Amino acid sequence: MGKRETFPLKQETDIVLIRQRVRKYAEEAKLGIVSQTKIVTAASEIARNALIYGGGGECVVEACSRDGRSAVYLCISDSGAGIADIDRAMVDGYTSGSGLGLGLSGAKRLVDAFAIDSAPGQGTRVELWKWR
Amino acid sequence: MPASALAELLKTYESELLEEWIGAQRAAGLRSDLIDLDTVVSNSRELLKLLAVAAEQGIDDLGARHWEPVRGMLERLSRAQSRQGFSPSETATFVFSLKEPLFAKIQQHCGAASLNEIWNATRLLDRLGLYSMEHFMAGRETVIREQQESMLELSTPVVELWKGVLAVPLIGSLDSNRTQVVMEALLQKIVETESEIAIIDITGVPTVDTMVAQHLLKTVTAAKLMGAKCIISGIRPQIAATIVHLGVELGDVITKSSLADAFVVALRELDVRLVSRPVLR
């Protein structure tokens, strides 16, 4: 197991820090520039969701490998209201707030593996992988 | 032992305490580059006087009204010191260095009750020290906030490239506050210069996520309502790939990869042609 860090997610400036750190990890994993931008953008989307809809939480960034390829793993969790209907939340254009409704579905398309776990009142936990 | 024993001591031995306190502060090291001895002496004298008055009416509740002058003075002093570049320890030392002379006085004059009095005094000075620390930090935070605000303004210039063509070179991460400032500045400038075309250049924006895209689209729509056409330039390949995967529709917004390309489009829109001057022999 590689380097692993946990970041708090309590205010908008935390998202900036998380983006910077994720970019660093992506560079160290030797991801291409497009892949780097994709994982950073996905992290930004999910972190913002956790902050705005989940009331804040934390973000774990880890350097790992998958089938011999270096990878970046992210786990962003909050203890907010959770998502009642995950399938519906994953549909393009659906939002419970005022955004474009592309954050979750868009983030899923940006990464190589995506997992979401949520239930009403249980908070939300999103895992993202991007590998070389 | 009455609570006023401390007040009694502070009043009776004021000048002695002052002298020894100054001595203790000098021993701890004064920042002679930031503050002169006269100021230290007058600050110390003022605090001692205020302490003596406040302590007379009880030292248990620093939040009480009669502690207001002391709190006010420490607040002012700590905030000022945080701006002047004192370190936290240097600021805290001001209050804490009073312990030594004060405890010595208590030991000399309170006899059997001195342990109890020292306990009272140390609790009081600790709380005052923490109080001054809180305001030292608050001062720092004010400075940081001010810097953030001035950076907001610095980093959002709207420039006129040509009569009727504006450009906004965006640099750094775009949060809601900044986009708000950019949008307002741009709309204002459109009115002032009667511009028809505004170029928003995002070469310096490292991440374009759905929120940034949404803010950009809102700015474009607002500019359109003011009668100006927007061009978004500086879209790098990796940003383009990301926007596609995110599924963001930029609609009928004109986009260009570089500011130069966008400028050419703008000139064409305005029916302006740039020709190189023929070489004269």
CB distance A105–B245 less than 8 Å? no
CATH number of B4-149: 1.10.490
Question: Which residue type, as a one-letter code, is found at position A71?
Answer: A
What residues does B160 pair with on adjacent strands?
B166
Q: Residues in chain A whose beta carbon is closer than 8 A to a beta carbon of chain B?
A: 12, 16, 19, 23, 33-34, 36-38, 40-41, 44-45, 48, 92, 99-100, 102-103, 105-107, 109-110
Best mutation target among A100, A109, A112, A128 (most B Cβ atoms within 10 Å) is: A100
Tell me, yes or no, if the pTM score tops 0.95. Answer: no
| Contact at CB, B175 and A12, closer than 8 angstroms | yes
Q: Closest to B210 (Cβ–Cβ): which among A16, A40, A106?
A: A106
B115 to each of A23, B1, B122, B127, B175, how far by Cα in Å?
59, 11, 11, 18, 57
Tens of pLDDT, residues A91-124: 988 888 888 889 899 999 999 999 999 999 999 9
The CATH classification number of B159-269 equals 3.30.750.24
* Residues of chain B found within 8 Å of residue A12, distances taken between Cβ atoms: 175-176
Cα–Cα distance measured from residue B199 to residue B187, given in angstroms and rounded to the nearest whole number: 12
Residue B225 reports pLDDT greater than 50: yes
Q: Which of B1-10, B107-116, B173-182 has the lowest mean pLDDT?
A: B1-10
What domains can be seen in chain A, in order of their start residue? 4-131 (3.30.565.10)
- Token duo for residue A80: 């907010």
**Sequence letter at residue B76:** R
B176 contacts A12? CB cut-off 8 A: yes
Domain edges within chain B = 4-149, 159-269
Q: Could you give the CA distance from residue B182 to residue B199 in angstroms, rounded to a whole number?
A: 12
How many alpha carbons fall within 13 Å on the CB side of residue B186?
35
Alpha-carbon gap, residue B7 to B56, rounded angstroms: 5
> What letter would DSSP give residue B278?
P
Instruction: With H, G, I as helix, E, B as strand and everything else as coil, classify residue A127.
Output: strand
B4-149 and B159-269 share one fold:
no
Summarize the confidence of residues B128-149 as an average pLDDT: 89
